[in-house]
Amino acid sequence: MKYFAGSLLFMLLSSTVSFTLNAQEVNQDNQHLFNNFTYRQGNAYRTASGKPGPEYWQNAADYNLDVTLDDKNHTVSGNVTIQYTNNSPETLDFIWIYLEQNRFTENSRGTLTTSIQGGRYSGDVEGGYTLSNVSAKTDTGVSSKYIITDTRMQLWLDKPLAANGGEVEIKMDFKFKVPVEGMDRMGRLEVKDGTIYALAQWYPRVAVFDDVVGWNTDPYLGAGEFYCEYGDYNVKITAPANLTVVCSGILQNPKEVLTKEQQERWEKAEKSDKTVYIIKPEEVGKPIAQTKTNGTLTWHFKMENTRDVAWAASKAFIWDAAKMNLGNGKTGLAQSVYPKESDGQIAWSRSTEYTKASIEFYSNNYYPYPYHNAINVAASVGGMEYPGVSFCSYQSKGSSLWSVTDHEFGHNWFPMIVGSNERRYAWMDEGFNIFINHYSTEAFNNGEFPTRSSSPRSLIGYLTSESREGIDTYPDVANPRNLAYTAYYKPAAGLYLLREYIIGHERFDNAFKSYIETWAYKHPQPNDFFNHFENVTGEDLAWFWKGWFYGNGNIDLGIVEVKPYKGNSLITLENKGEIPMPVKFQVIYTDNASEVIELPVEIWQRGNSWTHLINNTKEIKRVVLDPDKIIPDVNVLNDTWNKL
């Protein structure tokens, strides 16, 4: 022990007077940048490895919907029956139900929190639900007691609903006026041949009850989107006979609502990689496109294991379709409906081609597309997604139409398959989606259109703005000018940095695909993503989650000096930013030979300065940090060293 103690003392004293190459002089302790953050420990419901735990549960809701569209008064009326199953380990005294059409009233919280200048999420104020015959039936009795608060209804039960499988049948009749301006998510549009109805948030639906906060009852204000339970849907829509209706799910009665020729065209489209008309432009509004010329028709659709359904109706629709190849021999049908105003080869005539390509790319590269239909609807909505249905601007064309189509259908993976809480964590669907959009755009038609997510450096203007906000800012709280960055571009850039700079393609792709598969049709939280990603990649990434996703700091790496040392060279680097990063730099020698050197992020764990030894007798002419220009370094002036 004496010998050990003496040797240790000698080594400690020696280390204080010697300079060890490839080691850092300790200026300050940066461990706080690398420590874990938030409560990321596992439990029985969610494991520390980022998987659903052995006792993970989620509730379920199946819907029967039977509604009628009145195109004279622009109303939807009908009834809903919800079969709700309580799989949680606790009894429930009441059920919370969302009434999101109540956003379109003068005194809704959304209306009252919209600035006088308005914005994308402005909406009409002459709508809202009229409800009747509300009931909740359990094995023990029936209750009709409820309280409506803004966009939520609290429906009380006669007795607490049993845990671990208790069921309640909820029924009600509802009616609402379809808004013209539906917060850029739904509404109606007048075109030459009629009205286009885009219907979403159109029926009362249960809120999510989970193991994290219990009932998720955040009001529907505007920017915050949705958080839904999964279930099966049986939908019947009665509309005037001269209207074409499309909906999430599979049409159950084509022989009743389609002409014989339309049925034949449909069958042809199911087998064709090229777009096939179901209703041709010259047939729009004419008897040839209708199974009958007066009265109404009821369109019947079914969809399984989905979190929502949306639909559209119009007598102005051109309708075309093509087969989707989804892998493993599975096929589906890409469809588009659009008015004559949107027709043309630089516009919506290519919509089905875009839809097909988008769905096929994501299905074959990330996770199989679970639905048979993917329907793109030209509407007044700039861009909004629902399972199997997207609403995109009828005025979009060219790269703009590709971009919005690809983005909205990408949402079928985030959050339609991976069911995150959009109302709180918009970045978990918007950011992830923008990220995968980059690769689908690169792949489409050999790069026909430019990708908007290949350069995180394009964010520097925002990252250095005094008004910037963090990714973790709730969408309804974020400054409207910042929402595109907090929810879309900054989180997408974060994933891009992980794949292209920090982790590498193979390990990133393994983790990303595993996350999708692990949380398909479930409800992941941010920590589930962080934990799962770290466990699959084998990297402690707390420094990156904390700095990029839960912070407002920036990246600023620099070169301090390059000097000779015993026939070799020393390169001293510095970290002047708040987010540490691995370092890649290119060394160019006077003979124009070059090499790229990579250093791990841990060089910054004990301080902000690092000296690296280049074991090369050649003279250095130039050193360039991040030669591929991937990281959004906010100060490029210290990224290059040149020999004088």
Per the structure block, which two tokens stand in for 484? 């595109």
User: What is the DSSP-derived secondary structure letter of residue 143?
Assistant: E
- Quick one: pLDDT at residue 28? 61
What pLDDT band is residue 29 in, cutting at 50, 70 and 90? confident
Mean pLDDT of 3-14: 40
What pLDDT band is residue 216 in, cutting at 50, 70 and 90? very high
Residue 626: strand, helix, or coil:
coil
Residue partners of 333: CB distance under 8 A and separation at least 6: 269, 270, 321, 322, 323, 324, 372, 373, 374
Contact 231, 61 (CB under 8 A): yes
Nearest to 426 by CA among 632, 218, 578: 218
pLDDT per residue as tens digits for the range 144-192: 999 999 999 999 999 999 999 999 999 999 999 999 999 999 999 999 9
Residue 368, preceding peptide bond in cis (omega within 30° of 0)? no
Backbone angles phi, psi at 501, to 5 degrees: -130, -45
What pLDDT band is residue 115 in, cutting at 50, 70 and 90? confident
Mean pLDDT of 108-114: 94
Nearest to 119 by CA among 221, 6, 246, 254: 221
Q: What does the alpha-carbon distance between residue 123 and residue 104 come to, in Å, rounded to a whole number?
A: 6
- Quick one: pLDDT at residue 8? 39
- Quick one: pLDDT at residue 617? 86
Q: What does the alpha-carbon distance between residue 56 and residue 222 come to, in Å, rounded to a whole number?
A: 31
Q: Tell me what percent of the residues of the chain surpass a pLDDT of 90.
A: 92
pLDDT per residue as tens digits for the range 522-577: 999 999 999 999 999 999 999 999 999 999 999 999 999 999 999 999 999 999 99
| Cα→Cα distances 458→461, 488, 632, Å | 7, 13, 8
pLDDT per residue as tens digits for the range 564-586: 999 999 999 999 999 999 999 99
Q: Lowest-confidence range among 315-319, 361-365, 475-479? A: 475-479
Residue 634 has a CB neighbour count (10 Å cut-off) of 18
- Quick one: pLDDT at residue 2? 42
Q: What does the alpha-carbon distance between residue 490 and residue 453 come to, in Å, rounded to a whole number?
A: 10
pLDDT per residue as tens digits for the range 588-636: 999 999 999 999 999 999 999 999 999 988 999 999 999 999 999 999 9
Taking 60 as the threshold, does the pLDDT of residue 14 lie above it?
A: no
pLDDT per residue as tens digits for the range 222-281: 999 999 999 999 999 999 999 999 999 999 999 999 999 999 999 999 999 999 999 999
Residue 600 has a CB neighbour count (10 Å cut-off) of 11
Q: What does the alpha-carbon distance between residue 219 and residue 370 come to, in Å, rounded to a whole number?
A: 30
- Quick one: pLDDT at residue 3? 38
pLDDT per residue as tens digits for the range 125-141: 999 999 999 999 999 99
What pLDDT band is residue 198 in, cutting at 50, 70 and 90? very high
Contact 589, 619 (CB under 8 A): yes
Taking 90 as the threshold, does the pLDDT of residue 9 lie above it?
A: no
Residue partners of 95: CB distance under 8 A and separation at least 6: 84, 136, 154, 155, 157, 161, 168, 170, 206
Q: What is the mean pLDDT of the chain?
A: 94
Strand partners, 97: 153, 206
Taking 50 as the threshold, does the pLDDT of residue 75 lie above it?
A: yes
| Cα→Cα distances 66→54, 80, 282, 496, Å | 38, 7, 32, 44
Count CA atoms within 13 Å of residue 382 on its CB side: 6
- Quick one: pLDDT at residue 17? 38
Q: What does the alpha-carbon distance between residue 178 and residue 194 come to, in Å, rounded to a whole number?
A: 15
- Quick one: pLDDT at residue 26? 44
Strand partners, 631: none
What pLDDT band is residue 369 in, cutting at 50, 70 and 90? very high
What pLDDT band is residue 453 in, cutting at 50, 70 and 90? confident
User: What is the DSSP-derived secondary structure letter of residue 84?
Assistant: E
3-class secondary structure per residue, 145-160: CEEEECCEEEEEEEEE
Residue 365: strand, helix, or coil:
helix
pTM, 2 dp: 0.94
- Greater model confidence, 79 or 455: 79
Contact 417, 516 (CB under 8 A): yes
Q: What does the alpha-carbon distance between residue 312 and residue 200 come to, in Å, rounded to a whole number?
A: 9
What pLDDT band is residue 16 in, cutting at 50, 70 and 90? very low
Taking 70 as the threshold, does the pLDDT of residue 502 lie above it?
A: yes
Taking 80 as the threshold, does the pLDDT of residue 6 lie above it?
A: no
Q: Tell me what percent of the residues of the chain surpass a pLDDT of 70.
A: 96
